Amino acid sequence: MMVGVGIGVILTLLVEAAGIGLLIYYVVRRDLRW
């Protein structure tokens, strides 16, 4: 059961990291477009 919880935590962190990365990517691209 602990392994499942660990995988869930890792997936959550990856999703959050991907979301933050996309947000930064769009903001930087928008700034560079100006």
Distances (CA, A) of 28 to 3, 22, 34: 37, 10, 10
**Global confidence as pTM:** 0.55
Site of tokens 């100006």: 34
Kindly report, residue by residue over 14-28, the tens digit of the pLDDT. Answer: 999 999 999 999 999
- The reported pLDDT for the residue numbered 34 is 61
When computed from its CA atoms, the radius of gyration of the chain, rounded to whole angstroms, is 15
Distances (CA, A) of 16 to 1, 12, 13: 23, 6, 5
